[in-house]
């Protein structure tokens, strides 16, 4: 990034754009703590005089299943923190997660709610989200087939996994484990401790705070996207 582009980014004047049948959508490019973020696409053109790049140029030929994504969680009228998730290579669920963090297919996790806490206060505690259709946990249809791939099994806090194996109507939903669960104990163990496709690398304390909120359904994914310089 040369100094001119860096200055434009710092001034909030660089946007990634994507044009499709619905018109032009745009995504902010920001620089925060030396990390360059492409935020979720929104259904609006960039502001006048903005410096624009095509989304295909920004994302490029990177393996979409081996990248760093972010979820900003908020409740009570404010954003409480940013969660960075490193996705695993060779996992279709990770590729789907990238698409839903960037909004490239027209739907995204932005403005969705977390909808459940499993095993609250016990080993294996996790939060569930990803119902972008707003059906309170009954929706969130998969946008690609995620059944294949090299998923792993784990019982560690910070694991990110998909949970509804063959249920296409909820295949975009995800779970983030907030407490270790050695030995695989817990009500949801048989489903939740397989199909791991990512790991929280920072911000797990934000997810834990969300799990402890009085009403998990008030927790919102305020924003999401990917980190470009990894």
pLDDT tens per residue, range 57-72: 888 766 666 689 999 9
| pLDDT exceeds cutoff 70 at 183 | no
Task: Tell me how far apart the alpha carbons of residues 221 and 75 are, in angstroms, rounded to a whole number.
Answer: 9
| Predicted local confidence at residue 193, as pLDDT | 62
The answer to whether 143 touches 100, Cβ cutoff 8 Å, is yes
Asked if residues 105 and 97 have their Cβ atoms less than 8 Å apart, the reply is no
CATH class label, 68-227? mainly beta
Taking the C-alpha atoms of residue 170 and residue 181, their distance in angstroms, rounded to an integer, is: 24
pLDDT tens sequence across 120-132: 999 989 999 999 9
Domain borders along the chain are: 3-59, 68-227
pLDDT of the residue at 18 = 95
pTM above 0.85, yes or no: yes
CB-facing half-sphere around the CA of 15: CA atoms within 13 A = 20
Give tens-digit pLDDT for 140-154: 999 999 988 888 888
Token pair for 134: 């707003």
């Amino acid at each position: 990034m040369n100094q001119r582009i860096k200055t434009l980014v710092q001034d909030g004047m660089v946007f990634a754009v994507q044009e499709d049948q619905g018109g032009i959508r745009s995504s902010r490019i920001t620089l925060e703590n030396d990390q360059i973020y492409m935020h979720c696409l929104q259904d609006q053109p960039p502001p006048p005089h903005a410096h624009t790049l095509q989304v295909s140029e920004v994302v490029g030929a990177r393996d979409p299943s081996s990248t760093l994504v972010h979820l900003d969680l908020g409740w009570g009228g404010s954003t409480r923190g940013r969660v960075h998730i490193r996705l695993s290579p060779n996992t279709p669920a990770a590729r789907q997660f990238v698409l839903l963090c960037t909004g490239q297919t027209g739907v995204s996790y932005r403005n969705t709610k977390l909808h459940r806490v499993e095993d609250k206060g016990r080993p294996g505690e996790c939060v569930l989200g990803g119902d972008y259709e707003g059906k309170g946990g009954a929706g969130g249809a998969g946008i690609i087939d995620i059944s294949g791939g090299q998923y792993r099994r784990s019982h560690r806090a910070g694991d990110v996994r998909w949970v509804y194996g063959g249920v296409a109507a909820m295949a975009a939903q995800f779970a983030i484990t907030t407490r270790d669960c050695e030995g695989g104990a817990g009500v949801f163990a048989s489903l939740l401790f397989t199909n791991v496709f990512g790991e929280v690398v920072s911000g797990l304390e934000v997810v834990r705070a969300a799990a402890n909120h009085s009403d998990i359904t008030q927790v919102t994914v305020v924003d999401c996207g990917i980190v470009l310089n990894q």
